[in-house]
Structure 1
Amino acid sequence: MQTVLIVDPFSTGKLYAPLLNAQGVRCIAIISTRNLPDHFSSDLIEDNFQEVYYWEEALLMTLEHLPLTAVIAGCETAIYLTDYLTEILGIPGNTRITSDLRRNKFSMQQALKDHQLANIASTLLSSPSRIAEVVATLEDTGTYVVKPLNSAATEGVVFAQGKAEVETALNNAAWQQKNDLGETNLGFIVQPFVAGPEYVVDMVAFAGTYIVASVCKYTKVHKNGSKFVYESLDTLDPQSAELQPLIDYARQAAAALSIQVGPIHMEIIWAEAGPVMIEAGGRLHGGIAPQLFQQVYQPDLLSLAIDGYLGRQKPQADAVTQTRHGRIAFFCSDQSRPFVAPSPEALAQVRADPAYGGHRYFIRPGDTTPITVDLATCPGLFWLQHPSEQQLDISAAHLRNYLWR
């Protein structure tokens, strides 16, 4: 029987074990640290695993005697330990020498630069002592992004107009504080803001060959004083000719990050000069996207990731086809007010919609809704899938009226 280790099987990483178990693969969970936040550790479904271990070096004596096929990274917090175990245990995977390229936002931009690929010029600050020095090099009227080195999603990301706002953002930054992943912020980077539509390319590496599993495009709107309120994420056809420059760049960027095995989640801006990577991670797309992809693409991201980890034969480069249209739509709160959940009658109308896939709130009834200015302040979402792209537009407008008032 094949046996795999899944490090930090949280977020979408919890989707691996049920599918692997159904294929007769024995799963063992490794929790990277006891200091993970509750909203992560509560994701653990112990019944999916033969054993659940908390990481300590002495555990290697146990793991070395197991017939292991793969070490799988469940989420962002798993990257370093996954690469370490892969190398120490002699299992095909990604080397720990290059772990930073898949986790550290400064290192990944440097890797693109070293490979002469489009990149975003990034200035690194490991302590507040360099704030004045860095701010002095900026333009008075430039638009910049300040972001933590090792956070996830949009946590801690600040858009700043001019050097004065950059200075304020850095002075107010969470230096050496715990982030939403339970990790300590290792520093911050300052980057010029790159304008253009934002895409997500999800790939799976089969021994250094990259299969594009999905391509998505964000729609952003200007609301609540922010230009970065996300309205939706739409799935696109990876075989579309007009997307090939984006896909070609994504594959080259994945190679620059030395990803050999497993999924790659890459965020890219298609700027006027061409595609440029914002950041990437060596793990599955987060949220509900992998489940939506199962209904939209054949083969889908999750099944491809499992095949890649288990060393199965890689599919043809153009094997993935879009069989239906999919969309994730985000709720937006324009004011702070108590959240009231939809009535049973409203939910009945929602479930009767032909494109409805599901919905999720990030707040509970009675909670005060934050004013939405980015993904971090989004109060919830719903998802759709249907053969007709036009039906997605109709259903999205219909469902917003029932799910968010």
Structure 2
Amino acid sequence: METVLIVDPFSTGKLYAPLLKAQGVRCIAVISTDSLPKHFTDDLIRENFDAVYNWEEGLLEILEPLSLSAVIAGCETAIYLTDYLTEVLRIPGNSRITSDLRRNKFSMQHALKKHGLANIESQLLSSPTRIAEVVATLKDTATYVVKPLNSAATEGVVFAQGRAGVESALKNAAWQRKNDLGEINLGFIVQPFVSGPEYVVDMVAFDGVYIIASVCRYTKVQKNGSMFVYESLDTLDPRAEELQPLTDYARQAAAALSIEVGPIHMEIIWSADGPVMIEAGGRLHGGIAPLLFQQVYHPDLLSLAIDSYLGRPRPRTDAVSQISHGRIGFFCSDEQRTFAAPSSQALQSVMEDEAYCGHRYFIDAGDTTPITIDFATCPGLFWLQHLSAPQLDISTANLRKKLWC
């Protein structure tokens, strides 16, 4: 029986074990550090694993005799330990020498630049002592992005106008504080803001050959004083001719990040000068997206990732086809108010919608809704799937009315 080890099987990393077990593969979990936040570790489904260990170097004596077939990164926090274990246990994977390229936002951009690919010029600050030096190089008329080196999603990301805006953002940044992943912020980067439609490309690497598993496009709206409130994420056909410049660039960027095995989640702006990567991670797309992709694409991201980790034959590079249309819609709160869950009648009506797949709130009944200005203040979401793309618009309007009013 094959045995795999999943490091930090949280977030979408918890989706691997049930599928592997259904294929007769034995699963073991390792938790990378005891500093992970509770909202992560609560995701652990212990019954999916033959054993669950907390990482320490002595654990290698238990792992080495198991003849593991793969070490899988469950989420962002797993990258460094996954790469280390694949190396010391002599299992095909991504080199720990290049782990930073898949976790550190400054290193990612430097790798793109080194390989002659479109990149975002980035200035690195490891402490507040460099704030004055960096601010002096900026333009008062430009918009900048200030972001933590090693956070996830949009946590800690600030859009700032000119020198004064960047200086204020950096002085108020969470220096040396724990982020939502339970990690200490290692520093911050300052980048010029790049405008254009935002895409997500999910790939799976088979010995350095990249299969495009999904392409999605965000729709953003201007609301609540923010230009970047996310309204929806729509799935696209990876084989569409008009997307080829995007997917070609994504493959080149993945190679620059030295990703050899497993999934790659890449966020890209298609600017006036062409596609440019914002950031990438050597793990599955987060949230409910992998489950939606199972209904939208064939083969899908999860099954491809498992095949890659287990060394199964690589499919054709154009193997993934879109078999239906999918959308994730994000709720938006325009005011602070007490949140009330929808009535049972409203929920019944929603479940009868022909495109409805599910919904999730990030707040509880009785909580005060945040004013939505970014992902972190999004109060919930829903997801849809249908053979007809126009039906998604009809269902979106229906669900927004019934689930968030």
TM-score where L is the length of structure 1: 1.00
Which residue identity is paired with 1:135?
Answer: V
Once the two structures are superposed, the pairs formed by residues 221-260 of structure 1 within 5 Å of their partners are: 221-260=221-260
2:385 is the counterpart of 1:385: yes
Partner of 1:142: 142
Once the two structures are superposed, the pairs formed by residues 155-304 of structure 1 within 5 Å of their partners are: 155-304=155-304
Instruction: State the alpha-carbon separation in 2 of the partners of residues 395 and 326 from structure 1.
Output: 11
Once the two structures are superposed, the pairs formed by residues 363-402 of structure 1 within 5 Å of their partners are: 363-402=363-402
Instruction: State the alpha-carbon separation in 2 of the partners of residues 355 and 71 from structure 1.
Output: 36
2:55 is the counterpart of 1:55: yes
Which residue identity is paired with 1:108?
Answer: M
Partner of 1:64: 64
* CA RMSD of superposed structures (Å): 0.3
2:329 is the counterpart of 1:326: no
Instruction: State the alpha-carbon separation in 2 of the partners of residues 296 and 110 from structure 1.
Output: 34
Deviation at 1:8, TM superposition (A): 0.1
Deviation at 1:34, TM superposition (A): 1.0
After superposition, the C-alpha distances for 1:26-71 in whole angstroms (9 at most, x for unaligned) are: 0000000111100000000000000000000000111111120000
Partner of 2:81: 81
After superposition, the C-alpha distances for 1:53-94 in whole angstroms (9 at most, x for unaligned) are: 000000011111112000000000000000000000000000
Instruction: State the alpha-carbon separation in 1 of the partners of residues 100 and 239 from structure 2.
Output: 31
Partner of 1:108: 108
After superposition, the C-alpha distances for 1:183-211 in whole angstroms (9 at most, x for unaligned) are: 00000000000000000000000000000
Structure 2 SS opposite 1:336: coil
Deviation at 1:403, TM superposition (A): 0.3
2:339 is the counterpart of 1:343: no
Instruction: State the alpha-carbon separation in 1 of the partners of residues 67 and 187 from structure 2.
Output: 39
Instruction: State the alpha-carbon separation in 1 of the partners of residues 289 and 342 from structure 2.
Output: 23
Instruction: State the alpha-carbon separation in 2 of the partners of residues 67 and 2 from structure 1.
Output: 8
2:313 is the counterpart of 1:313: yes
Instruction: State the alpha-carbon separation in 1 of the partners of residues 262 and 338 from structure 2.
Output: 42
After superposition, the C-alpha distances for 1:256-292 in whole angstroms (9 at most, x for unaligned) are: 0000000000000000000000000000000000000
Structure 1: which 5+ residue stretches go unaligned? none
Partner of 1:2: 2
Which residue identity is paired with 2:247?
Answer: I
Deviation at 1:170, TM superposition (A): 0.0
Structure 2 SS opposite 1:196: coil
Q: Which runs of 4+ in 1 moved over 3 A?
A: none
Instruction: State the alpha-carbon separation in 2 of the partners of residues 87 and 108 from structure 1.
Output: 21
Q: What is the aligned length?
A: 405
Structure 1 SS opposite 2:69: strand
Structure 2 SS opposite 1:64: helix
TM-score where L is the length of structure 2: 1.00
Deviation at 1:141, TM superposition (A): 1.2
Instruction: State the alpha-carbon separation in 2 of the partners of residues 313 and 60 from structure 1.
Output: 29
Structure 1 SS opposite 2:66: coil
Instruction: State the alpha-carbon separation in 2 of the partners of residues 46 and 121 from structure 1.
Output: 43
After superposition, the C-alpha distances for 1:306-359 in whole angstroms (9 at most, x for unaligned) are: 000000001001100000000000000000111100000000000000000100
Deviation at 1:175, TM superposition (A): 0.2
After superposition, the C-alpha distances for 1:140-174 in whole angstroms (9 at most, x for unaligned) are: 11100000000000000000011101000000000
Structure 2 SS opposite 1:295: helix
Structure 2 SS opposite 1:68: coil
Instruction: State the alpha-carbon separation in 2 of the partners of residues 285 and 273 from structure 1.
Output: 26
Structure 2 SS opposite 1:190: strand
Which residue identity is paired with 1:84?
Answer: Y
Identity rate, percent = 79
